[in-house]
Amino acid sequence: MDQQPSNDTQIPADQSQTTPPVIPPSGFGTAVAPTGDKKGHEGLKSVLATLAILIIAPLIALTLTAFIFQSYEVDGPSMQSTLQNEDRLIVLKVPRTIARLTGHAYIPHRGDIIIFNKNDLSELGGGTGNKQLIKRVIALPGERVVVSNGILTVYNQANPNGFQPDKTLPYGKVIVTTPGDIDLTVPAGDVFVCGDNRTNSLDSRYFGPIPVKDIVGKLALRIFPFDKAERF
């Protein structure tokens, strides 16, 4: 008796027993936040960071210019030929800041170039209001200063017969003559200053010694013109 073909499809034994692999869910055990919350959090952090920069940066700049250093531009001929009109300078304020923090007076060295505040100079033709001037320290507290016949002489305990700083210090090579008729003793807490351009400088020969409390800082660098950059 002929056998009729079966309608059942024969499946090979090796395929019928194959089990599909189990793939674990991606990121199993990792907590995630809704997309909207994450974007909002990052946006808030960005805003706060920007605000912090806008607030902190000006404070840092103000601190630096008030207590550490400041940039200045020369205006006028009184310090020629050492400094020229429109020279850009860096003035160091650290020594004055330290002196104030320690409760001491800041006394610069002879020959230092300093920036200081000077009030109304209208009577001397220097204008009204508070100005900041740049001059060189010539005599210190307690010293006697004499200007006569174009020569500046300083008297102190170490030099009772006097000496001429314009001839003994390096800056003196630019000094030709010092007009005026001066004979005074610098008070305690003051210094006597002059411009290097002695024939065209409004300085202590005309308005007297300046209080050290009015000193802003000491010239440290000339940064422009670049070909004349120099450390002082």
Confidence of residue 232 (pLDDT cuts 50, 70, 90): very high
Asked if 70 and 89 touch (Cβ cutoff 8 Å), the reply is: no
Dihedral angle, C-alpha 58, 45, 42, 30, nearest 10 °: 140
The CB-side HSE value for 80 (13 A sphere, CA atoms) comes to: 10
* pLDDT tens by residue, 123-167: 777 777 789 999 999 999 999 999 999 999 999 999 999 999 999
Predicted local distance difference test score (pLDDT) of residue 100:
87
Is 121 within the bounds of a domain? yes
* Residue 57: inside a domain: no
Asked whether residue 108 is domain-assigned, the answer is yes
Model confidence pLDDT, tens digit, residues 49-65: 787 787 887 777 677 77
Question: Which has the closest alpha carbon to 232: 170, 177, 139?
Answer: 170
Assess if residue 157 is contained within a domain: yes
Total structural domains within the chain:
1
Please say if 71 is a catalytic residue.
no
Look at residues 116, 156, 155 and name the one whose alpha carbon lies nearest to residue 133: 116
CATH number of the domain that residue 131 is part of: 2.10.109.10
On whether residue 32 sits in a domain, the answer given is no
The verdict on whether 135 is a catalytic residue reads: yes
Q: Which of 118, 135, 201, 204 is catalytic?
A: 135
Q: pTM score, two decimals?
A: 0.76
Q: How many CA atoms lie within 13 A of 60 on its CB side?
A: 6
What Cα–Cα distance (Å) separates residue 25 from each residue in 29, 100, 222? 9, 69, 68
Instruction: Give yes or no for residue 30 having a pLDDT over 80.
Output: no
- Note whether 218 and 108 are within 8 A (CB): yes
Mean pLDDT of the region 61-82? 88
Q: Which domain holds residue 85?
A: 63-226
User: Which amino acid, one-letter code, is at 96?
Assistant: R
Q: Is residue 72 part of a domain?
A: yes
Measured between alpha carbons, how far is 191 from 142 in angstroms, rounded to an integer?
Answer: 9
Residue 94: helix, strand or coil by DSSP?
helix
* Helical spans, DSSP H, in the chain: 13-16, 35-63, 94-102, 165-168, 204-207
**Active site residue: 78, 118, 201, 218, which one?**
78
Predicted pLDDT at 122: 78
pLDDT at position 221: 97
In a domain, 173, yes or no: yes
Domain contains 174: yes
State whether the Cα torsion 187-188-190-195 is positive or negative: positive
Q: How many CA atoms lie within 13 A of 19 on its CB side?
A: 3
